[in-house]
Amino acid sequence: MKVKKAVIPAAGLGTRLLPITKSMPKEMLPVINRPVIHYVVEEAIKAGIDDILIITGKGKRAIEDYFDRNFELEYYLRERGKERELELVREISEMVDIYYVRQKKPLGLGDAILHAEKHVNGEPFAVLLGDDIIVSERPGIGQLVEVYERFNAPVLGVETVEWEAVEKYGIVAGEEVESGLYKVKDLVEKPKKEEAPSNVAIVGRYVLTPEVFDALREVKPDKRGEIQLTDALRLLVGNGRSMYAKTIEGKRYDVGTPEGWLRANVELGRLAGILR
């Protein structure tokens, strides 16, 4: 079955970017002249996905407004002959079919994914975290879709990180079956450096199958009361489900941190010719 649906979790509180995220969703922070989530939605579209569900939360209305029509603004631009700007704002509202559901309590990424069950309706689906930008010749999520279509199994996007950074990620233990492609044997959520099975880290892109929802309901919340997607995926692997991890070719920017957001603006600004 083709992957035609994507889920973008965007309900997090953005605490690493306070105080600006007190009043602005982190997904709406500008990178050059577009918000972060615009890049994420574009990545899904370029991979052939035409149905997107965004998981929002309290204070995230700006995301819905951004992808909606703004007739007052369009009238203003049309009356003043600003055709280029008018075309730009119209394109945003016509990019793709976007739907929304609200995660009422911040109970973790796994809980956010559970909110997508009715929408995906038994189909395989992509997951793109709303605060990661991936710049690549082939869409990052598209690279995972290609692996899914080969093996008909869930696929995790990964990259090799410094050993000192493994505590920040879900880490894969697996067998490299091709260059940059791993058969997953186990997963560990944010292990200590000395306990990590590898430094191959999950980085915010997934292609999942519907059985993940039962696994999410089965796993127990962590010590913070959150349901972790990594725990559910680990349960599936432990029950014998084949799963793969694909190193994403391209450059990833974690704009959920001040350093990552600043780096994205500087480096993408240089690519666009705006900065030298």
Domains and CATH numbers, the chain: 5-271 (3.90.550.10)
Return the pLDDT at 187.
93
201, 159 in Cβ contact below 8 A? yes
pTM greater than 0.85? yes
Residue 3's pLDDT band, with cuts at 50, 70 and 90, is very high
Rounded to an integer, the average pLDDT of 203-217 is 95
pLDDT at 276 over 80: no
Give the number of C-alpha atoms closer than 13 A to the C-alpha of residue 256, restricted to the C-beta side.
16
Residues 6+ apart with CB under 8 A from 248: 134, 136, 140, 143, 144, 157, 158, 159, 203, 205
Rounded to an integer, the average pLDDT of 51-58 is 92
Rounded to an integer, the average pLDDT of 154-180 is 93
**Pair of tokens at residue 58:** 């309290």
pLDDT tens digits, residue range 60-112?
889 999 888 888 888 888 888 988 888 888 888 888 889 999 998 888 999 99
Return the pLDDT at 222.
86
Return the pLDDT at 264.
93
Distance separating alpha carbons of residues 269 and 275, to the nearest angstrom: 5
pLDDT tens digits, residue range 234-264?
999 999 999 999 999 999 999 989 999 999 9
Residue 214's pLDDT band, with cuts at 50, 70 and 90, is very high
pLDDT at 13 over 90: no
Residues 6+ apart with CB under 8 A from 168: 161, 190, 201
pLDDT at 185 over 80: yes
Please calculate the CA angle 261-256-91 and round it to the nearest 5 degrees: 70
